[in-house]
Amino acid sequence: MGNVKRSPWLLHYDGSSCNGCDIEVLACLTPVYDAERFGIINTGDPMQADIFLITGGINKANQAVVKQLYDQMPRPKVVVAVGVCACTGGVFKECYNIIGGADTTIPVDIYVPGCAARPQAIIDGIVKAIDLWQAKADKMENVQKELNKLDKLEEKEKK
């Protein structure tokens, strides 16, 4: 399918964040930054999302939720941890209920630091994520092509 990077759709999940990063994420969608001009849409639905934007650390209550949301996203998908809590656990790291950063639960591709992360940094992170996502899409396509070839070969052999 080639170029997919013109329409990255986000899934934004708030872990145990202080809501600082979440406000900044939403700020990116305001007219000032206008993320939609890159085709970015903040879809609330994992089944249609490409980029998983996670803020805040992982705690015992939301670990299963994060796992499930990640699982519900169709391939290719990219995870962006926004803010220091999502990256490492941040100031809450030592709390009794905090497990750590997002990478303790799901594979994280891009880390956007900051407390709270600035909109510019978030957009920068997303732009990086988009490139990675495109690479993954290309790889997936190639693999799919190979698989299709194998399928055809198998069918021929059967005949």
Partner 1 sequence: MTYRIFGILAFLIFAPLLGGLLSGLDRKISARMQGRIGPSILQPFYDVRKLLSKQFIIVNPAQIFLVISFLATVIVTGGMFFGGSDILLCFFLLSTGATFLIFAACITNSPYSNLGASRELLQMMCYEPAVLLACIGFYLATGSFNVSDIIQADLPAIIKTPGFFVAFVFILTIKLRKSPFDLSTSHHPHQELVKGITTDMGAKTLALYEIAEWYEHVFLMGFVGLFFVCKNPWSYVVAVVAILATYFLEILIDNTSARVKWLTMFKLAWGVTLLIAGVNLIILMVLA
Partner 2 sequence: MLHGLKAFIKYYLNIYNKEGEKIMWMIPFLICFPFVVSVLMYTIRKNNVRNTIAYISAGIIMAVTALFVVQWIFAGSPVLELYYHTHTIDLIMLGAVWLLMFVVTYLSFKYRKRLVSLLSIIPTLMITYFELMGPEMAEIAHIRVDRLSVLMCIIIGLIGSLIVIYSVGYMHGYHHLHTEFEDRRYYFFMLLFIFLGSMFGFVLSESLLWIDLFWEMTSICSFLLIGYTRTEEAINNSFRALWMNLLGGAGLVVAIIYAGYQTGSLSLQSLVSLGVAGEKAAIIPVALIAVAALTKAAQMPFSTWLMGAMVAPTPSSALLHSATMVKAGIYVLFRLAPAMSGTQTGLLISFIGGFTFLAASIMAIAQTDGKKVLAFSTISNLGLMVACAGVGTPETIWAGIFLMMFHAISKSLLFQNVGATENSLHSRDIEDMHGLIYRLPRLGAFMFIGIAGMFLAPFGMLISKWSALKASVDTSNIMLVIFIVYGSATTMFYWTKWMSKIISYTDTEIKVRDITKKDELLSLFIHAGLMIALCLLFPVLSVVYVEPLLTEMFGVATAVLPKEVLFLLIAIVCFIFIAPIMAFRYATTAKVRQKLSYMNGINVGNNKEFIDSMGENKHLFMTNWYFAHTFGQRKLMQPCEWITIAFMIVMLCMIIGGAL
Percentages of the chain per state (helix, strand, coil), in multiples of 5: 50, 15, 35
The residue from 19, 30, 68, 120 that contacts partner 2 (CB under 8 A) is: 68
Q: Which residues pair with 11 in a beta bridge?
A: 52
The residue from 23, 47, 95, 143 that contacts partner 2 (CB under 8 A) is: 47
Alpha-helical runs (H) found in 9-118: 20-28, 63-72, 84-88
The residue from 23, 26, 65, 143 that contacts partner 2 (CB under 8 A) is: 65
Minimum CB distance to partner 1, residue 10 (Å): 10
The residue from 48, 97, 142, 148 that contacts partner 1 (CB under 8 A) is: 48
Q: Do 82 and 54 touch, CB atoms closer than 8 A?
A: yes
- Smaller CB distance to partner 1: residue 38 or 63? 38
- Smaller CB distance to partner 2: residue 14 or 124? 14
Distance of CA 16 to the CA centre of its chain: 17
Under rule CB under 8 A, residue 45 binds partner 1: yes
In angstroms, the CA 60 to CA 42 distance is: 26
Under rule CB under 8 A, residue 42 binds partner 2: no
Under rule CB under 8 A, residue 76 binds partner 1: yes
Tally Cβ neighbours within 10 Å of residue 87: 23
| Contacts with partner 1, residue ranges (CB under 8 A) | 1, 3-4, 6-7, 9, 29, 31, 34, 36-39, 41-45, 47-48, 50, 72, 74-76, 137, 140-141
- Where does this chain bind partner 2 (CB under 8 A)? 45-47, 61, 64-66, 68-69, 71-72, 74
